[in-house]
Amino acid sequence: MIKIIDLFAGIGGIRRGFEQASEGAVECVFTSEWDAFANKTYAANYPNETIFGDITAVDVNDIPDHDILLGGFPCQPFSQAGLKKGFDDTRGTLFFDIERILIAKQPKAFLLENVKRLRTHDNGRTLEIILKHVKEAGYKNVHVEVLKARDFGLPQNRERIFIVGFLDENVKFEFPSPTNIETRVGDILESDIDEKYTISDKLWAGHQRRKAENKLKGKGFGFGIVNKNSEYTNTISARYYKDGSEILVQQEGKNPRKLTPREAARLQGYPDTFIIPVSDNQAYKQFGNSVPVNTIEAVAREMLKGLENTKKGINNNLELQVVE
């Protein structure tokens, strides 16, 4: 059984991807998430587990030994910390808590997920600091890639950066190739929709006006509208609950509508068995903040394969030595 810890866990999307990739051969031994509403959803889907709050308040000695560290960590500007403590200091950022756990616990591997712009944040220096620190923590076998959710069977144009590291430099790892599964927005849409999800005349008029104004200014900002035959949607954000403008679903003879919470869950790869115990607004925030589970599953499968193949190689070498 492979032991994982789930940091900045949200509603458990990264963990879920690993569970699906391993077909249940992983055990989560520690979870940390500070948001009370996210904890409610996490607990509803993973009952009888202890969820620790703010990771900055957790003593590293209270974290069990584990094989893989998972973290979709928030990215604050490292340069702000640098103003006070020197540019290369990670203290004052939440990445520091990942770093201190890696140093103390030395898990075999880690997977970190973040927004695509982490790659270019502060002219690339933020990512440079992160890579420098994980390598100093012993993880010189590190891989970085931006992956698209729509390349892994989800009808969403969501791009995220993934950082994968291994303690053993002999582990062979490559990011997964696109599955080339055709995506269609209709596959995640529900059939019986409450009228409350149809946007008002006032809101619809405002969306159209702002889009026209932006077009005149040479900006492409504005609502995104799809129908059942669209290949994919825009990226759903944590702000979706405010007006839903990034993803509106076309309706015949009426104003477009927002996604339902269940559709938002499907858009991120969550199964219909996933329990949503919170309000619509909280659900939109949670799924907007979450990860595309299909993408995580594909990355996890390659990570687990690399670790397993390295383990087999070590065992084979031991057998050869015994024979000699």
Residue (of 288, 320, 312, 282) closest to 72 by Cα position = 288
Distance CA 119, CA 249 (A): 31
Buried-exposed string 41-62: b where 16+ CB fall within 10 A, e elsewhere: bbbebbeeeebbeebeebeeee
Q: Any idea what the Cα angle at residue 172 is, between residues 269 and 324, rounded to 5°?
A: 140
Write out the two tokens for 180.
């080339």
Count the neighbouring beta carbons within 10 Å of the beta carbon of residue 281.
13
Active-site choice (51, 75, 98, 154): 75
Distance CA 31, CA 50 (A): 7
Long-range pairs, 218-224, Cβ under 8 A, ≥24:
223/248, 224/248
**Structural Rg of the chain based on CA atoms:** 21
Contact 240, 261 (CB under 8 A): no
Q: Is 28 a catalytic residue?
A: no
Annotated active-site positions, please?
A: 75
